[in-house]
Amino acid sequence: DAGVIQSPRHEVTEMGQEVTLRCKPISGHNSLFWYRQTMMRGLELLIYFNNNVPIDDSGMPEDRFSAKMPNASFSTLKIQPSEPRDSAVYFCASSLGGRGEKLFFGSGTQLSVL
Amino acid sequence: GESVGLHLPTLSVQEGDNSIINCAYSNSASDYFIWYKQESGKGPQFIIDIRSNMDKRQGQRVTVLLNKTVKHLSLQIAATQPGDSAVYFCAENGGTYKYIFGTGTRLKVLA
């Protein structure tokens, strides 16, 4: 099992640029989560998908953030335009059922917006 | 749920000794708990989980204890090794998709 796969591992961009983060969940998992981790706020849930459908996007900071899950094996998180305060580590996680199930994280994308 | 990680408590343990990391969880309705290990520059790694119908669960070199009366969770690592150095944090879940993450404890293994 390859686990949750994220790309890129590191992204450095300039303010105003579009950033797209990618995630491949564990095969067979029907729940996918995007989290953001910072020193100040720890892990924050951005959006939760179940069976490719966004269930809760209340954690998405602003309209600059959007996420899609076109199929069961792929999701993207897009920031457009990016700002320096978006700098953080973004994690994708997946689980079998989404409720009270083992939650597995990817290696994360370290985003730096200059 | 959010956790604040500005100043993580640190536990320093001599190599070969046992480590005990504690977590106080917040929601009395939580019935599922996970311990994660996060090494620098990596994602949280699933270590062990426990459901509320149990008070102890053992894995390889790790044991999780759950005390629902005082809403306390602990992770015991036997014969701590240098590779165990990381930040450890707990997560609680009350049967929804929302996981609440603890603040984390940094474990330093002294040679």
Please give chain B's pLDDT, 111 residues, in tens.
Answer: 334 345 789 999 999 999 999 999 989 999 999 999 999 999 999 999 999 999 999 999 999 999 999 999 999 999 999 999 999 999 999 888 889 999 899 999 998
Q: For residues A106 and A6, give the distance between their C-alpha atoms in angstroms, rounded to a whole number.
A: 6
Residue B51: its chain A contacts at CB < 8 A?
Answer: 100
Q: Express each pLDDT in A44-70 by its tens digit.
A: 999 999 999 999 999 998 899 999 999
Q: Shortest Cα distance from B109 to chain A (angstroms)?
A: 22
User: Is A105 in Cβ contact with B44 (below 8 Å)?
Assistant: yes
Judge contact between A10 and A4, C-beta under 8 A: no
In B, minimum Cα distance to A95 occurs at B97
User: Is B49 in Cβ contact with A44 (below 8 Å)?
Assistant: no
User: Is A45 in Cβ contact with B95 (below 8 Å)?
Assistant: no
Cβ atoms within 10 Å of A17's Cβ, excluding its own: 13
Burial tier of B14 (Cβ tally within 10 Å: 0-12, 13-18, 19+)? exposed
Q: Express each pLDDT in A11-37 by its tens digit.
A: 999 999 999 999 999 999 999 999 999
Paired tokens of A52: 């490719």
- A35-60 exposure pattern, b = at least 16 Cβ within 10 A, e = fewer: bbbeeeebbbbbbbbbeeebebeebb
Q: Which of B99, B101, B103, B106 is best to mutate for the A interface (most A CBs within 10 A)?
A: B99
Q: Shortest Cα distance from A83 to chain B (angstroms)?
A: 22
